Amino acid sequence: MSIKRFTCIVVILIVSGITASAAQDTQDPEQLKNEGNLLYEQGDLDGAIAKWQEAIQADSTYAFAYNNLGVALYDKKDYEGSAAALERAVELDSTYVKAFGSLGNAYLALGEYARARDAFTRALDFEPRNHTTLTNLGNACLALGEYDNALEAYDKAIDSNRNYAPALNNRGLILQRRGKTDDAAESFRRAIRADSEFLEAHINIAALYVTRDDPDGKFASSAIDYLLLAQKLDPSNTTITYNLGLCYLKARNYGRAQKTFTDLVKLTPEDPYAHYGLGQAYAQSGAYDLAAKSFTQAFTLDPTFTNARIAIDAANELRDR
């Protein structure tokens, strides 16, 4: 199960009491920076960016303005621009811990995981117990396939803040990957206890339970419970609805599976997998004619859907017996 979302917490640093030298005909860069901060807090990203760019024009060595500019560009999803501004910030101030953390976030968003790892490592030189930075370091290592390093970073984050849900969740993913399913499940449960609205942990523990041997349906029932909670947290998430339907199938609750996939077909009528899931629910309950119609719809929407083509023939054969 892949990680759904790297937690990249970006902090805007507001610094007062530092006055940059300026010519009499040049605006005060610190004042411009502070004006930008106020606009940022009010949600005016473009206005804030303009002020920080003016501050940089007034003083091209003003690291704080470069940092804040990088944060705002990140918020606008201009990750290349964000990285460029933050690189300049840490070039000007090699001890600027917040800028290193923000730079790591920008690199993560760009998929430059090795550079993200290095930036987070640099930030940790100054704040070695920062649980957010440790978690983001783990995320970068995880993306690089450096699982031992990732697990070490998550463990340190949890040691620093035992209730930090993102670290607990991502630690569970590595343990699951290594076949330590009981430990992984406990890590996901700890994430949920730490933050009952942490969506990814609900989804991940449900996925873990679905993959386990389950002759009596116990794990499928638990997966359903977690997915129902996830659905309350994100009612419009159709992937959760699809997985819920699959869990109902595994739990042999074909009525609920039909209802779930029917709802999904209404939400995503062009999704062949929604129709295929509904066909499975019909077939398992013996409604082969309806199953064949659903499988046919899935195949019509996606002519490369080989399983749907096979399922049509199987449903028709069972119907005609």
Give the end of a domain, one of 109, 127, 145: 127
Looking at the fold, whether 112 and 11 belong to one and the same domain comes out as: yes
Looking at the fold, whether 94 and 59 belong to one and the same domain comes out as: yes
Residue 319 confidence (pLDDT): 85
Q: How confident is the model at residue 17 (pLDDT cuts 50, 70, 90)?
A: very low
Residue 21 included in any domain:
no
- Work out the number of other CB atoms within 10 angstroms of the CB of residue 318: 14
Cα within 13 Å of Cα(135), Cβ side: 25
Residue 1 included in any domain:
no
Looking at the fold, whether 321 and 224 belong to one and the same domain comes out as: no
Give the end of a domain, one of 233, 252, 271: 252
Q: How confident is the model at residue 215 (pLDDT cuts 50, 70, 90)?
A: confident
Looking at the fold, whether 35 and 99 belong to one and the same domain comes out as: yes
What proportions of the chain, in percent to the nearest 5, are helix, strand and coil? 75, 0, 25
Q: In Å, how far are 124, 136, 177 from 170, measured between CA atoms?
A: 19, 10, 11
Residue 26 confidence (pLDDT): 62
Q: What is the mean pLDDT of residues 301-306?
A: 96
Looking at the fold, whether 46 and 110 belong to one and the same domain comes out as: yes
Closest C-alpha among 204, 11, 6, 12 to residue 113:
6
Q: Tell me which residue range forms the domain holding 244.
A: 202-252
Looking at the fold, whether 122 and 133 belong to one and the same domain comes out as: no
Residue 27 confidence (pLDDT): 82
- Work out the number of other CB atoms within 10 angstroms of the CB of residue 249: 21
pLDDT-wise least confident of 14-18, 65-69, 212-216: 14-18
Looking at the fold, whether 117 and 134 belong to one and the same domain comes out as: no
Mean pLDDT of the chain: 90
Residue 20 included in any domain:
no
Looking at the fold, whether 174 and 156 belong to one and the same domain comes out as: yes
Q: What is the mean pLDDT of residues 53-82?
A: 96
Domains in the chain: how many in total?
4
Range 158-191 burial, b when 16+ CB lie within 10 A, else e: bebbeebbbbbbbbbbbbbeeeebeebbebbebb
On the question of pLDDT at 197 being above 70, the answer is: yes
Looking at the fold, whether 81 and 115 belong to one and the same domain comes out as: yes
Which residues neighbour 235 within 8 Å (Cβ) at sequence distance 6 or greater? none
CATH number reported for the structural domain that contains residue 284 in this entry? 1.25.40.10
Tracing tokens 């343990």 back to the chain, one arrives at 175
Looking at the fold, whether 79 and 154 belong to one and the same domain comes out as: no
> 254, 248 in Cβ contact below 8 A?
yes
Looking at the fold, whether 64 and 52 belong to one and the same domain comes out as: yes
If one compares 241 and 9, the residue with the highest pLDDT of the two is 241
Residue 245 included in any domain:
yes
